[in-house]
Amino acid sequence: MNTRQITDELEQALAQLPVLDIHTHLVGGKLGARGLHDVLLYHMAVSDLYAAGCPTGARLTQYPGWPTREEAHHRIEEALPYLPLVRNTGISHAVRVILRDLYAWNQPVTADNWRKLDDLIRERADDRAWAYGIIDRLNIQRTVTEIARREHGEDDHRLRYSLEWCFFTRCQWGEHDTALYELERCWGLTPSSPSPIGGGTRPATPRTIRSLDDVKAAVKYYVDTIPYDQVVSTATHISTDIDFQSVADDDMAKALACRGKAGTRERDVYASYVNELFLTELEKHEKEIVFQFSFAAEPLPYETASRISQRTIAQLAEMIGRHPKLRFQCFLASRHANQSICTLARELPNLSVAGFWWHNFQPDVIRQMIAERLDMLPVNKQMGFFSDAYCAEWVYGKMAVVRKQMARVLADKIEEGQYSFDDAVSIAGDLLFTSPQTMFKLA
């Protein structure tokens, strides 16, 4: 058999394997797309369109709100002239795969036909059997989403949950006290979704951090409030712009006194101090939870750019090394940092890598990362898939891309004599199911 034939057979074999999707933003009771906008204007698709000249680069109304029909239709009409300009991108290809495979739609989306397609998707928006069918078609056994999106638990038999709430090590465009504000927006409250990237506004908080004692009380409240019996992980972001450092109480107190005129130095002090305090407390629950973090995507006014410094990679290694009992898992947005992160995971027993996130979700990047990870890491240190999807349709689109690229990489390994066909399928099974099932106990 030639490589193409091997690839086709592998893709068919991989389609039979059980899969765990370990990070999404699906909403309980509303798993499916609410309209064409949920497919066509997924946020990375919006970035493609904005790059092509579409006037609006912001996401549509985000959960817990929903775009009105008027907002969704306006944004679709605004995007239509730019769709031909992005037809070459990987995300646009995934859109076409979703529409073709799930809705039997094989024509370009145009001003003359988009309303028909929108009606077709809206007809099925509240059909839970339809959404289940999409997920079952992928053989996905369990899906992890934010516990804030659980709603009334309608899909608890399908979903498991992650806490994605306080992002005190993520920078926001034009802010320097984000770490403190993030703590304030959680202090005394119950878990909700995290602050949006580039939100531009900061709603008032019920409490204000004014002292070192307040910081410690807010972190303690946060750690104590995590519903460990309901979540398998806590997800956050670690920014490359922050200079992570050891911060004494006195230095933190001095920085707090400067909050009104805080700059990058105070930003780094706030984030470093809060993060170390948090990890120290969270490590006491090391058997109950995995600390997932995204890495190498830094905010711009609407979305992010892929950026990472070697300094941050070194500081990450020190951070993980200081907390050997806590399990860390990285969602990486930088192609060139993949090898570096793999070298850390080889030497830090408590670090693993997972899937392909945001700026890494292009077929050639996925292939490179799979190949590097296969050659560098044992199978139990790498998880093969998470969709980061906001609807079941995008779970399908992302899985279709990953499965095809995984099959291509494995076919190359067979051609080189590194794996047998059975080895390749078995390894894929470990990446897609066994490794995440063992780590997260998602049976």
pLDDT number for residue 200 = 63
Q: For position 3, what pLDDT does the model report?
A: 83
Question: pTM for the whole thing?
Answer: 0.96
Rounded to whole angstroms, the Cα distance separating 335 from 294 reads 13
Cα angle: 374, vertex 367, 361; to 5 degrees = 120
Label residue 250 left, alpha or beta by phi (over 0 means left) and psi (-120 to 50 means alpha). Answer: alpha
415-420 CB contacts, 8 Å cutoff, 24+ apart: 415/3, 415/6
Which residue bears the tokens 């799979």? 370
> What does the pLDDT read at residue 299?
86
| CA–CA distance, 143 with 25 (Å, rounded to integer) | 10
* Strand spans (E) along 147-296: 159-163, 231-238, 290-295
Give me the phi and psi of 396, to 5 degrees please.
Answer: -60, -50
Say what angle helices 363-376 and 338-347 make with each other, to 10 degrees.
Answer: 20
Given a contact cutoff of 8 angstroms between Cβ atoms, the answer to whether 128 and 31 are in contact is yes
* Structure confidence at residue 198 (pLDDT): 66
Sites in the chain below the pLDDT cut of 50: none
Q: What is the pLDDT of residue 106?
A: 97
Task: Return phi, psi of residue 232, to 5°.
Answer: -105, -15
pLDDT of amino acid 385: 98
The H or E element containing residue 244 is none
pLDDT recorded at residue 199: 58
Angle formed by the axes of helices 421-429 and 392-415, nearest 10°? 150
pLDDT of res. 289:
97
Distance of alpha carbon 438 from alpha carbon 443, whole angstroms:
9
